[in-house]
Every structure is written in C-alpha cells, then in structure tokens.
Amino acid sequence: MAIRNIRKENDEILRKKSREVTEINGRILTLLDDMADTMYASDGVGLAAVQVGVLRNVVIIDVGDGLLELINPEIIESEGVQCELEGCLSLPGKQFYTIRPAYVKVKALNRDGKWCVYKGEGLKARAFCHELDHLKGTLFIDKTATQDEIEKYKKED
Ligand code: NI
C-alpha cells in the first residue's frame, strides 16, 4: 500500500479519456489499494485512477459510509437535480456550485470481477457523477452552475 502523487489541474493527463479495464490483475488491485491510501490521506470522498496518473476506468468513493471500489463504472439511471458546492483533490482550494442529478444508480465491477449496482443520493450521487466525469477527462470546473441555476436549485439552509 502506498500513497501516490495526485495530479493537479494543469496536468494534461486529467483531460484524457480513461480506458476500460479488461483484466482485474495484481496491478489493478494494487492500484485500488493505493488509491484508497491516497484518498484517505487527503481527506477526499472520491478519487479516479487518472488522478494518480493511470488512464483506466477505476474510481473509489467513500462519503463516510464505507469504501466503494468501482471498475468500469456506468451510470444506468439518474433522477432529479441538485446544486451544491463541489471540490476536487486535483484542484485544491477551489469550490464551485455544480448541477448534478439528485439520485443516480451506477453499475460497476468490484475487485472480484462481479457486477454490482450502487445507488446514491445527495453527496454520494455527486461523488459518483464527479468521479465518473474524471474518466471522460471532464472536471467539475467545466460544469459550474450559473447564478440563475444556483438560485433555482440550491437548497435553502
Ligand atoms: Ni475530482
């Protein structure tokens, strides 16, 4: 297990598309372990493999209810709208409001190669969307909400 270097905003790898995992081998399992170490060391709630320089469809998420390891994840259902502040370990210090679905359902392979389905609302839905965007080379700063959207969708405190 090891902490890997998190690529930052100006690193062009963050704009590249990640590729499908075709075999869950030792390299992928080590990647998953290292990604968890790296995410927890930085107090993050999610991390995509590209953020540690590996262009593979692998993300991890932990919004406080346990670690999820997702290989080749896909959003298979989404519903509603939410507008909340978002940040990213690759863009330290930046936080902007983004528009995301209020609820998503995701399917992904786990480390044993089994397809699993995960559901998330609120922060978890945002984390799924944010991390899956990384696999397409999309960053949350590409999706900042307009003032009108913030006024329309932001939950009253
Ligand atoms: Ni991010």
Tell me the domain boundaries of the chain: 12-156
- Could you tell me the two tokens for 123? 């922060």
Q: What is the pLDDT along the chain (157 residues), one digit of tens a residue?
A: 799 999 999 999 999 999 999 999 999 999 999 999 999 999 999 999 999 999 999 999 999 999 999 999 999 999 999 999 999 999 999 999 999 999 999 999 999 999 999 999 999 999 999 999 999 999 999 999 999 999 998 876 5
Distance from residue 54's CA to the centre of ligand 1 (Å): 14
pLDDT of residue 155: 76
Distance from residue 8's CA to the centre of ligand 1 (Å): 10
Integer Cα distance of 92 and 79 in angstroms: 29
Integer Cα distance of 74 and 146 in angstroms: 27
Distance from residue 35's CA to the centre of ligand 1 (Å): 13
Query: In this structure, are residues 47 and 131 in contact, taking their beta carbons and an 8 Å threshold?
Result: yes
pLDDT of residue 109: 98
- Looking at CATH, the fold of the domain delimited by 12-156 is given as Peptide Deformylase (3.90.45)
Give the residue numbers annotated as catalytic, written as ranges: 131
Beta bridge partners of 68: 61
Sheet holding 115-121, edge to edge: 46-48, 58-61, 68-79, 103-109, 115-121
Element holding 38 (H helix, E strand): helix 26-41
Distance from residue 113's CA to the centre of ligand 1 (Å): 25
